Amino acid sequence: MINSKWLKYSLFTAVAFIMAALPFTLVGCAPGGGSEGELVVYNARSETFVKPLLEQFESEMGIRVRVLSGREELVNQIEEERNNVRADIFISNDAGAMEYLRRQDLLAPNDAPALGKIDQRFRAADGSWVGLSARARVLIYNKNLISEEEMPESLRELADPEWAGRFMITRGGNISMVTHVAALRKAWGDEETRTWLSGLSENAGAITGGHTDIRRAVGAGEYLIGLVNNYYYHLQLEEDRDNNVGAVYPDQGEGEIGTFVNVAGVALINDGPNKETARAFIDWILEDEQQHEFSYHSKETPLNPDIPAPEGAKPIDRYRAMDINLADLGPHWPDAKELIQESGLDLGI
Ligand SMILES: [Fe+2]
């Protein structure tokens, strides 16, 4: 059932909603829009990872979940809907995006005790967003073509002529790339980050839309190395072929900055139509079982140290992560795209 409120959406949005909602078993038949019998989720993660959890919430709580799945553009959509808030929850792959929304006063503070399960570095100080799983930046490599000893130990090395044409990166506008650059700006400063990015984009053998193309091409031996999030390595290992790949966590030496760890998590939208249900959802997803599900489907590692990492995945306390409070990236995030463009790395392809 779609009530008139939803028909006010643009055609594109309405179609996306209907398509996204179709696979769900809708529980009950509560009227829409602020009935508290439903929850509206804007989801910027892959729907495959999120759908089982949302279906479980529907059946456990008897609440209808409407989901709109998309990518970075959902951030803009939430901004545009500021005076007519439609979403209750934003699920994101990116702390930068969530913190950006918080700074625009688009998220609601939350003091739920369950938030204490997650280290302060990985959530907003006001509890309005919280990370659940870790996404570390790693270098995936083809073991047939290069050994671990020969691999660059630092991301800085990729800007050296030695690596020209031998590695792959995503387009600059890929959200993982944008937030990674925001973190580097904070660690290195703008000048150094810009210079490094120029070298990186000049040297890259290929620049792709997303990371799936990278893991596949590296697996197939088209390139030696790719800069990806850790779970792409685990996904490639699971392939029937082209799976002789390894992963190096860069910048791990004594005194080095460590690799950048972003998070996937959930944010509470300010003044959403179903406020109580939205808070209940955050509490629910912070329960151990749901945290486990949230991480494992995507091969990420749980941020909650009480929950074991998936087999073969490096637990978060076993490598050096950049010592950055993710919420501090907020001010660095919008300008990161500008800096990326200035460096010569296109946002799109
Ligand atoms: Fe991804």
Which CATH number does the domain housing residue 191 bear?
Answer: 3.40.190.10
Mark whether 102 and 215 lie in a shared domain: no
Report how far ligand 1's centroid is from the alpha carbon of 220 (Å): 19
Determine the structural domain holding residue 232 and report its residue range.
135-260+330-342
224 has pLDDT over 50: yes
Choice between 306 and 68, residue whose per-residue pLDDT is larger:
68
Q: Are residues 72 and 114 in the same domain?
A: yes
In this prediction, residues 235-248 reach a mean pLDDT of 96
pLDDT tier for residue 214 given thresholds of 50, 70 and 90: very high
Is the pLDDT assigned to residue 317 strictly greater than 70? yes
Residue 348 lies in a domain: no
* pLDDT at residue 32 in the model: 43
Whether residues 106 and 175 share a domain: the answer is no
Q: How far is CA 126 from the centre of its chain?
A: 20
How far is ligand 1, taken at its centre, from the CA of residue 221, in Å?
Answer: 21
How much is the pLDDT for 26? 32
pLDDT of residue 248: 96
* Domain membership flag for residue 44: yes
Mean pLDDT of 270-298: 94
247, 205: one domain: yes
pLDDT band at 167 (very low <50, low <70, confident <90, very high): very high
CA of 70 to the centre of ligand 1 (A): 13
| pLDDT at 7 > cutoff 50 | no
Burial of 331 (0-12, 13-18, 19+ CB in 10 A): middle
- Ligand 1 centroid distance, CA of 205 (Å): 20
Average pLDDT for residues 267-291, to the nearest whole number?
Answer: 96
CA of 8 to the centre of ligand 1 (A): 31
Does the structure show a pLDDT above 70 at 146?
yes
Within a domain: residue 180? yes
Q: Is residue 215 one of the residues assigned to a domain?
A: yes
Query: Would the pLDDT of 220 be above 80?
Result: yes
Beta bridge partners of 267: 90, 129
pLDDT at 35: 66
Q: Ligand 1 mean position to 101 CA, how many Å?
A: 20
Query: If you average pLDDT over residues 171-200, what whole number do you get?
Result: 94
If one counts the domains in the chain, the total is 2
Model pLDDT, residue 104 = 95
CA of 212 to the centre of ligand 1 (A): 8
> How far away, in angstroms, is 202 Cα from ligand 1 center?
24
Q: Is the dihedral of CA 151, 252, 215, 173 positive or negative?
A: negative
Claim to verify: residue 275 and residue 130 sit in the same structural domain:
yes
Judge if 117 and 159 occupy the same domain.
no
Q: Give yes or no for residue 2 having a pLDDT over 70.
A: no
Mean pLDDT of 70-86: 94
Within this chain, do residues 254 and 312 fall inside the same structural domain, yes or no? no
| Residue 281 shares a structural domain with residue 313 | yes
22 and 127 fall within a common domain: yes
pLDDT digits (tens, 9 = 90+) for 109-139: 999 999 999 999 999 999 999 999 999 999 9
Q: Which residue has the higher pLDDT, 314 or 10?
A: 314
Taking all residues of the chain, what is their mean pLDDT, rounded to a whole number? 88
Q: What is the pLDDT of residues 27-36, one digit of tens each?
A: 333 334 556 7
- Average of pLDDT values for 266-276? 97
Instruction: State in Å: Cα 271 to ligand 1 middle.
Output: 29
Are the CB atoms for 255 and 323 separated by under 8 Å? Answer: no
166 and 84 in a single domain? The answer is no
- List beta partners, residue 40: 66
Contact of 185 with 223, CB cutoff 8 Å: no
Of 234, 238, 227, nearest in space to 313 by CA: 234
**Ligand 1 midpoint to CA 229 (Å):** 7
The pLDDT value recorded for residue 296 is 84
Does any domain span residue 166? yes
Distance from the alpha carbon of residue 174 to the mean position of ligand 1, in angstroms: 9
Whether residues 208 and 338 share a domain: the answer is yes
The answer to whether residue 322 sits within a structural domain is no
pTM recorded for the entire structure:
0.81
52 within domain boundaries: yes
Q: Percent of the chain beyond pLDDT 90?
A: 76
Q: Is 22 domain-assigned?
A: yes
For the segment 32-44, the average pLDDT, to the nearest whole number, is 81
Q: Are residues 123 and 144 in the same domain?
A: no
Distance (Å, whole) CA 264 – CA 98:
10
Distance, in Å, from the CA atom of 339 to the CA atom of 329, rounded to the nearest integer, reads 14
